[in-house]
Amino acid sequence: MATAERAFCQSPYTQVTLEELSKQAGVPQGTSSLYFTTKEELLGSLLVVEVGAWCDAIRAGLSKATTRLDAPALATALAKSLAGRDKLTRYLALLHVALEESRDSVALDHLRGSLRVKLTGLAEQLEICSDSLQAGDGARLLRRLWMAVAGLEPLARPRGAVLLASHEPESGWLDVDFEEELSALLEAFLTDRP
């Protein structure tokens, strides 16, 4: 799993293959395919683990709160909680590509169900702990969080052509402070709900 984590975090998604991961891990390819039939399934498994750890950490922090959080405090807390979770943010950024590539509806349903279990409790706890959220808003906020992370992560931690372009003098607009931008987007979502 460590080999897969490293590959998904450092390599372009299209260059990650189960064959190469098996070779790097020193495991016969037939053995690894007993656990994961596709790289999309493997990425999904890694994502579920990271989402679970993040949800546990957020819930623990929220349970210590002595007052309800306003929009800026909640936005800051969520952004700060993700700023140091490079694997999670990378997996979230790759998820849309993996979903497009996936041909396995059973694995996709399993991923969807696993994420729903992890995130539903967090969404409800966010609604309880924040002045800015009403019933149903927690899940909506977490969807928006995922979309924001997926957009910000490649700019905040560039790879490939984006990394090369970021060294050009006129590419300053590509410089993104992940935590700052995510906090601003989340606060905007929280204060301007549809």
Interval 68-90 mean pLDDT: 96
The mean pLDDT of 183-193, rounded to a whole number, is: 90
What predicted TM-score, i.e. pTM, was given to this entire model?
0.88
Q: Determine the CATH number of domain 39-191.
A: 1.10.357.10
Alpha-carbon distances, residue 52 vs 6, 17, 30, 74, 95 (angstroms): 19, 25, 29, 19, 16
Residues 3-35 pLDDT 10s: 999 999 998 888 898 888 888 888 887 777 778
Which tokens hold the place of 161? 């052509």
Collapse the DSSP code of 69 into the 3-class scheme (helix H, G, I; strand E, B; otherwise coil) and give the result.
Answer: strand
Mean pLDDT of 119-144: 95
Every domain of the chain and the residues it spans = 39-191
